[in-house]
Structure 1
Amino acid sequence: MAFALTSPAFADNQRMLPRYARDGENVSPPLEWTDPPQGTKSFALVVEDPDAPSGMFRHWAVYDIDAQRNALPEGTTSGAKTESLGHGVNDFGNPHYDGPQPPRGHGLHHYHFRLLALDVETLHLDEKASIDDILKKAKPHVLGQAELVGTFERT
């Protein structure tokens, strides 16, 4: 099988529940993955919205996820830091998950959850690293990528 990212909360290219939206409970959805590439020593997860009016908008990033893990439970890193994961500062300026919040009436937005399998155990990043910093540091270490897309619209 191929490296795959799924969620019990929504199928690929399907609507995310309001509880995962910034205006809702603002909790991250549960995520599960299978068959990472051989040699994976850690994972990094990034959530991006390419449909934002100003261009790519980054909602969440966690990194230094242990290679032995195959899931992130619902509510991982929502609010206070509860795990020893690295947290990227999102485009809202927060080092935690902030869910979908497209402008009202802007139409359907697509939220790309990208899980990167890396060949290093840690990215050695500062706690105030931006998501862009995480992606730049991870790029030369990517062994594979799995993606799940959730959709959301505010009317």
Structure 2
Amino acid sequence: MIHIQIADFSDGGRIPNKYTCAASQASPSPAMTWSGAPANTQSYVLIMHDPDPVLGGSAVNDVLHWAIFDIPGDAKGLPEGVKNGDQADGAKQIKNLGGSTGYMGPCAPPGHGDHHYTFELYALNAKLGLPDTASRPELLEAMNGKVIAKGVYIGMFGQK
């Protein structure tokens, strides 16, 4: 199991406003580190999503806030404020709920209570080589059969 650490909030703790829409629609991603991935890790995928919304009465809502893939296998974390789009190390980001290729901070609607913002980090035995135009289902399908370890970290956020 991969151990994820985000210094600015504990696993299960409240995400500081700095990283949410309460501060800005262009809030930065939090810095994170990780350890415990297998030695044969070739790349990582990080998916941040909110499984709590109920939209249109659906039981299968899950809001994508961030997905970055083909993070190099020797990486030990991500810095604060990962820029939108392709990264210098070859990592790519797909479109989030807001339509941009990058981090979209937590933004639970006022009055909905705290939502569980879930950071899932996957270690893969290959790079995916997908374009940044890939959809979330295409990303997940490409990951099938390549996941060798996973870690989960949850941050809470809500607005009154």
Alignment TM-score > 0.5, same fold:
yes
Deviating runs (4+, > 3 A) in structure 1? 79-84
**Is the counterpart of residue 60 in structure 1 residue 69 in structure 2?**
no
Question: 1:113-128 to 2 correspondence within 5 Å?
Answer: 113-120=119-126, 122-128=127-133
1:110 corresponds, among 116, 120, 124, to: 116
CA distance in 1, matches of 2:137, 2:146: 15
Gaps of 5+ in 2: 56-60
Name the amino acid aligned to 1:6: Q
Equivalent residues of 1:29, 1:74 under 8 A apart: yes
- 1:16 corresponds to which residue? 15
- 1:36 corresponds to which residue? 37
- 2:157 corresponds to which residue? 152
Gaps of 5+ in 1: none
CA distance in 2, matches of 1:82, 1:68: 15
Q: TM-score, normalised by structure 2?
A: 0.89
Question: 1:43-122 to 2 correspondence within 5 Å?
Answer: 43-54=44-55, 55-77=61-83, 79=84, 81-83=86-88, 84-120=90-126, 122=127
Question: RMSD between aligned alpha carbons?
Answer: 1.4
Number of residue pairs matched? Answer: 152
Question: How much has 1:38 moved relative to structure 2?
Answer: 3.0
Question: How much has 1:81 moved relative to structure 2?
Answer: 4.9
Q: TM-score, normalised by structure 1?
A: 0.91
